[in-house]
């Protein structure tokens, strides 16, 4: 199970449109996902949590994402990932991003500071003890802040099947133009009951992790919370599925249909 948080967080990237009047999330929101490999073997867990704090005197949200293997898989491929993002409470623009991972011995320890006025990212690679400044695109997001930014700014009432939406993203030391296709609306069964969702197909880079560009499918709740409910990924070897297992601290009522 590679890039647990990458698979979860990158999938939430959608182009902003008409801003909503009310925030989609709040301090104390928390998600836990159950990961399974090739449809039956439990692979691990992942969590996302958000807290209000300050960074250099500025009011920010601090998000921590964690991913780890469990059970038999961890004996031959151990994963321990941690992602953090600090972003402005008002604008949603990221100030700081941290990626510290260990995936079967493949490790990274990267910290990024964003300067949106200069359109620059200061990247510190702590593993190799290197520092560099990279030019960024307009309104760039990191892979974690994008999820929360777009939950507040993405209007879905008029989206049509086949629509392609985009987002400027900065990951590790590179700029990405992330694209996502809307597949339609679907009611799915979950551990909590039946939930109306928006279904998306993200475009990813085929290669070491993903089998091909259209290897991923994402289901997001079609309500004011816009929370991730299910993810399916065809990997270079096998497949991976993530299901929302538990949650707390949602800002809005969560509509669930019971049989």
Output the pLDDT for position 1: 45
Beta bridge partners of 239: 234
More confident: 122 or 40: 122
Longest CA–CA span in the chain (Å) reads 56
Q: What CATH architecture is 4-248?
A: Beta Barrel (2.40)
- Tokens for 143, please give them: 């892979």
> What one-character DSSP code corresponds to residue 3?
-
- Tokens for 200, please give them: 């998306």
> What's this model's pTM, rounded to 2 decimal places?
0.88
Q: Which of 84, 78, 80 is nearest to 63 (CA)?
A: 84
Output the pLDDT for position 259: 61
| Range 219-226 average pLDDT | 94
Output the pLDDT for position 21: 52
Q: Write phi, then psi, for 246 (nearest 5 degrees).
A: -160, 160
Q: Write phi, then psi, for 17 (nearest 5 degrees).
A: -135, -125
Of 52-66, 177-191, 224-238, the one with minimum mean pLDDT is 224-238
97 pLDDT above the threshold of 60 = yes
11-49 as b/e: b if 16+ CB within 10 A: bbbbbbeeeeeeebbeeebebebbbbbeeeeebbbbbbb
3-state secondary structure of 219: strand
207 pLDDT above the threshold of 50 = no
Q: Are 2 and 10 contacting, i.e. CB atoms less than 8 angstroms apart? A: no
Q: What sign has the CA pseudo-torsion 229, 215, 69, 124? A: negative
How far apart are alpha carbons 30 and 102 in whole angstroms? 23
Question: By CB neighbour count within 10 A (0-12 exposed, 13-18 middle, 19+ buried), where does 81 fall?
Answer: buried
More confident: 124 or 215: 124
């Amino acid at each position: 199970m590679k890039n647990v948080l990458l698979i979860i967080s990158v999938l939430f990237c959608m182009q902003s449109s008409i801003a909503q009047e009310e925030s989609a999330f709040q301090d104390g929101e928390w998600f836990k996902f159950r990961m399974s490999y090739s449809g039956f073997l439990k692979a691990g867990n992942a969590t996302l949590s958000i807290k209000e704090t300050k960074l250099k005197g500025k009011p920010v949200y601090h998000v921590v994402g964690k991913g780890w293997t469990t059970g038999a898989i961890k004996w031959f491929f151990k994963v321990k990932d941690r992602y953090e993002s600090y972003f402005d409470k008002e604008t949603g623009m990221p100030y700081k991003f941290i990626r510290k991972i260990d995936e079967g011995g493949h490790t990274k320890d990267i910290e990024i500071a964003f300067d949106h006025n200069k359109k620059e990212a200061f990247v510190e690679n702590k593993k190799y003890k290197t520092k560099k400044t990279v030019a960024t695109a307009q309104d760039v997001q990191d892979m974690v802040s994008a999820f929360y930014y777009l939950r507040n700014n993405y209007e879905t009432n008029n989206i049509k099947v086949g629509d392609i939406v985009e987002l400027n993203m900065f990951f590790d030391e590179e700029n990405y133009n992330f694209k996502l296709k809307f597949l339609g609306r679907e009611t799915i069964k979950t551990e909590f009951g039946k939930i109306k969702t928006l279904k998306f197909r993200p475009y990813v880079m085929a290669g070491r992790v993903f089998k091909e560009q259209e290897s991923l499918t994402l289901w997001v709740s079609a309500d004011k919370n816009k929370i991730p409910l299910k993810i399916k990924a065809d990997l270079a070897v096998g497949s991976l599925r993530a299901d929302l297992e538990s949650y707390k601290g949602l800002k809005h009522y969560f509509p669930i249909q019971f049989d």
